[in-house]
Amino acid sequence: MQSIRGMHDILPDEIEYWQHIYLTAIKILGLAGYREIRTPILEQTSLFSRSIGEGTDIVNKEMYTFTDRNNRSLTLRPENTASIARAIIEHKLLFNQQIQKLWYLGPMFRYERPQKGRQRQFHQLGIECCGSYSALADAEIIYLAKQFLDILNYHDYKIEINSLGSIKERKEYQIVLKNYLQTYIKDLDTDSQIKLELNPIKILDSKNNQVQAILSDAPKLISYLNINTLKHLDNVQEYLHKLDIQYSINYNLVRGLDYYTNTVFEIKTQELNTQYTICGGGRYNQLIETLGGSPTACTGWAIGIERLLLLIKNKIAIKSTQLVFYIATQGHEAIKYALTFLKYIQEQQLKFEIDFSNKSFHKQIKKANQQNALICLLIGEDEVINNCVTLKWLQENNQITIKNTEFIVTLQQIKNLTTQYKI
């Protein structure tokens, strides 16, 4: 038996890096007033088709959808913003016009061709700020994304921003763009020809060089934005300058989900021999209303963890907790006696490991050395009879035998030692 293609196990040696990212998120996002939320990985299919958009690749090609035993159409979530919007409506989290700042980290599912940094089960860290139309909220989420990457010691990226305008403005622009591209329809690749009918604005993000050459003379979306939308974009830029954040405007920047409005942004890198988007997001002012809630302005972003780890893994210094006690025993009575010490060791939060083999002390001590333990706790027949315990300090290669009551006091001294030297 093997795992399903594109769905990987995260093994113990890798988990430490994931935990580092999770703990960094708790610290950085918690300080900014964001609280963690966890939504189900299964939702009604209509949640995503209504929010992401029928004309998107995600809905048309990539969702894992099935009919359950009650004949309901369910989908493994391909992204989490729609799920959070649903949770906000269902649980009335915006009651009394309060602002909700939420963050999440969890698995998403898309049926894509597996490749480096892109799996069919992948994980995203994201934030959602709901309840404010302010451009300051847009600037803050970009600041937090930058701060998160900087704390992880990753700096080789650039930030691009754009405005998609309101849904009304975008619809007006799409008519103009479609008319322009119709002239070049035979020169467009197959994917762009399909998008021309379903969702022309998505062609702006084409990776086809010939299509991009055609787009170079196309009308620009910014020319169709009204004064309030342009003022919002100007305010975002003002705040980014005050936050000392370097960025550029990319007028062809669009996102793959239909719910985006106004500000959108991406954080990109060239480090992996191709242009990678590390983080992407923006504003979605109509999503909650589309799903049946009250009109609510929101903004947020998501980072793909697998892709992020490709960039930062060699920059993270993971320090494992020192194995303090390796407990070696000889005989059934010794095992029972040794177990009485576990609660005292755990009270001092000292890492331990029990040898289950019942082999000779020589072989167990050898294993303790292989595990880089600080102390091998030796308990045999003599220790049981005399109510004592033998501590063998492995690095110094010396040992002492003390009474069990004295050992409990000694644990505090060992705790202080490990703390002092950050063992």
Q: Which residues are annotated as a binding site for L-histidine?
A: 79-81, 110, 124, 128, 255, 259-260
- Among residues 257, 231, 237, 220, the alpha carbon closest in space to that of 79 is found at 257
Query: Tokens at residue 153, please?
Result: 């010691």
CA 78 to CA 403: how far, in whole Å? 60
Query: Would strands 73-76 and 248-249 be described as parallel, antiparallel, or unpaired?
Result: unpaired
Give exposure, 140-165, as e/b (b: 16+ Cβ within 10 Å): bbbbbbbbbbeebebeebebbbbbbb
CA 222 to CA 139: how far, in whole Å? 19
Query: Tokens at residue 312, please?
Result: 């930062």
Numbered residues of the known binding site: 79-81, 110, 124, 128, 255, 259-260
Query: Would strands 398-403 and 388-393 be described as parallel, antiparallel, or unpaired?
Result: antiparallel
Q: If 0-12 CB within 10 Å is exposed, 13-18 middle and 19+ buried, where does residue 62 land?
A: middle
CA 106 to CA 162: how far, in whole Å? 27
- Among residues 70, 81, 72, 84, the alpha carbon closest in space to that of 44 is found at 72
